[in-house]
């Protein structure tokens, strides 16, 4: 007789997850330490300099702390960047304060103290920014053409280093401006030199966020090209005009509006430039060769012929003639760059993300930039009302800012309502860089108006 012994029933434990930890409960120790340090720094600033602040500056300080905490919690790398820049800036200030004059820190110490002279003075830090941007661009391209993940990772590290040095140079320059004399100190976003530094680190930082979000470094080769172009202009502008010298603000710029209008504007400029370079990568990857040669060579070539004809007709002033020469040189560089990307399109196609990913990054960059550019335009209207008595005066800068806004408003409308995708959207985004560049730089080169604070 066979007997079967029944085995005991198996026991299965099921864990029911009712929900995830709250936002604050999920914060790490580093998150809380970062927030604590920011609060302590703000309290020190309030105690030390509160008496010298007006209501607007106090409001900016109060609003900046939770904003920086939220950004650091949203994107972890910003915590280390913020703390590192703060430490480097405080070190530079302490070195400056070793030697004082009748007004404050002796800025001549930048020529005597090793760390200030070669690393931490504003001009040294910004020069390091430029070197790191060029090195990052070259390394990104080596990684893209060779398919080396290591080279691309080094390119990313160098890009982070350029942001670190740019922010350090910006904050140290802010301190230096306050040591020159009464009523000279100001946030360094008041002229072409300072806003080009702003453009460089903002564009690079925004790209690095998308690099991490989409887990691809191959687009750095394209985005850092436009950043390198900005650094190249900055080097020329410094050597030709001595633009790095800190100057007192003109009366119209002596306003707290500048502290928020200009950075918001350059988030727009930076993301629009980034979207154009992503569009270039998209077109190199997907467009027929004939279309690329026609668009990327024919269009800049036609613009150059128009400029030559305009110059040949005569009647242009010497400054305009010089501006035309500079524009033609820049277009020549663009022609060489575009030709290279077309010739290398096979390698680029293999090592860049799928077109759908490029299209999505392009859209998100334009959407972010459009939001900030809209805010900046509204803030600019309020500033104009305070400075000149009217919200809008059809000044050339204002007119071209409106053209930029309408261009990207139409692009977003066509995408969201009509489903605009693919090469048409990419060509449009690339053409938008021409419009944006003229609004940013061309107005200063060819036109004059109420916004002519950084003539070329």
pLDDT tens readout for residues 166-198: 999 999 999 998 888 777 888 888 888 999 999
Q: Given this model, what pLDDT does residue 332 score?
A: 61
Predicted local distance difference test score (pLDDT) of residue 297:
59
CA 110 to chain centre: 27
State the Cα–Cα distance between residues 269 and 288, nearest whole angstrom. Answer: 29
360-380 pLDDT, tens digit per residue, is: 999 999 999 999 999 999 998
Q: How far is CA 416 from CA 205, 282, 363, 428, in A?
A: 27, 19, 10, 15
DSSP H helices, 353-395, are 355-388
291-301 pLDDT per residue, tens? 666 765 565 55
Buried b or exposed e, range 200-212, using 16+ CB within 10 angstroms: bbbbbbbbbebbe
How far does CA 184 lie from the centroid of its chain?
26
User: pLDDT tens across 215-269, in order?
Assistant: 999 999 999 999 998 998 888 888 877 778 888 887 777 777 888 888 999 999 9
What's the rounded mean pLDDT across residues 205-210?
96
Q: How far apart are CA 400 and CA 70, in angstroms?
A: 34
pLDDT of residue 243: 79
How many angstroms separate the CA atoms of 252 and 257, rounded?
10
Rounded average pLDDT over 124-140 = 96
Q: What is the pLDDT of residue 231?
A: 92
pTM, full prediction: 0.86
pLDDT band for position 20 (cuts 50, 70, 90): low
The SS3 of residue 105 is strand
């Amino acid at each position: 007789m066979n007997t079967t012994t029944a085995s005991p029933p198996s026991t299965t434990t099921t864990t029911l997850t009712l929900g995830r930890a709250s936002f604050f409960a999920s914060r790490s120790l580093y998150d809380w330490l970062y927030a604590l340090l920011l609060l302590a720094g703000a309290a020190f600033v309030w105690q030390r300099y509160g008496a010298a602040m007006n209501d607007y500056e106090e409001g900016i300080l109060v609003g900046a702390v939770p904003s920086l905490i939220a950004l650091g919690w949203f994107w972890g790398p910003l915590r280390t960047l913020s703390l590192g820049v703060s430490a480097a800036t405080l070190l530079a200030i302490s070195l400056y304060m070793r030697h004082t004059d009748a007004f404050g820190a002796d800025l001549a110490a930048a020529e005597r103290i090793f760390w200030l002279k070669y690393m931490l003075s504003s001009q040294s830090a910004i020069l390091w920014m430029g070197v790191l941007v060029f090195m990052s661009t070259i390394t990104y391209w080596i990684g893209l053409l060779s398919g080396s993940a290591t080279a691309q990772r080094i390119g990313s590290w160098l890009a982070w280093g350029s942001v670190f040095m740019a922010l350090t140079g910006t904050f140290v320059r802010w301190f230096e401006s306050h040591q020159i004399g009464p009523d000279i100190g100001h946030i360094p976003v008041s002229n072409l030199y300072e806003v080009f530094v702003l453009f460089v680190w903002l564009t690079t930082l925004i790209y690095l966020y998308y690099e991490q979000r989409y887990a691809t470094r191959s687009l750095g080769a394209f985005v850092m090209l436009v950043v390198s172009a900005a650094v190249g202009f900055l080097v020329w502008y410094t050597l030709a005009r001595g633009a790095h010298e800190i100057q007192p603000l003109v009366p119209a710029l002596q306003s707290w509006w500048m502290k928020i209008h200009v950075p918001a504007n350059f988030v727009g400029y930076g993301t629009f430039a980034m979207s154009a370079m992503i569009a270039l990568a998209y077109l190199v990857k997907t467009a027929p060769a004939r279309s690329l040669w026609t668009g990327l060579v024919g269009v800049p070539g036609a613009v150059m012929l128009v400029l030559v004809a305009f110059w040949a007709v005569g009647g242009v002033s010497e400054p305009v003639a010089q501006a035309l020469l500079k524009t033609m040189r820049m277009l020549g560089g663009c022609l060489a760059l575009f030709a290279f990307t077309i010739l290398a399109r096979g390698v680029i196609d293999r090592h860049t993300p799928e077109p759908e990913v490029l299209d999505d990054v392009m859209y998100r960059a334009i959407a972010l930039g459009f939001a900030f550019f809209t805010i900046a335009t509204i803030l600019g209207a309020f500033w104009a009302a305070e400075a000149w008595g009217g919200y809008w005066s059809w000044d050339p800068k204002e007119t071209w800012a409106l053209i930029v806004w309408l261009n990207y408003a139409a692009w977003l409308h066509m995408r969201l309502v009509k489903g605009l995708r693919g090469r048409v959207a990419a060509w449009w985004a690339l053409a938008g860089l021409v419009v944006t560049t003229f609004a940013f730089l061309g107005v200063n080169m060819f036109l004059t108006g109420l916004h002519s604070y950084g003539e070329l």
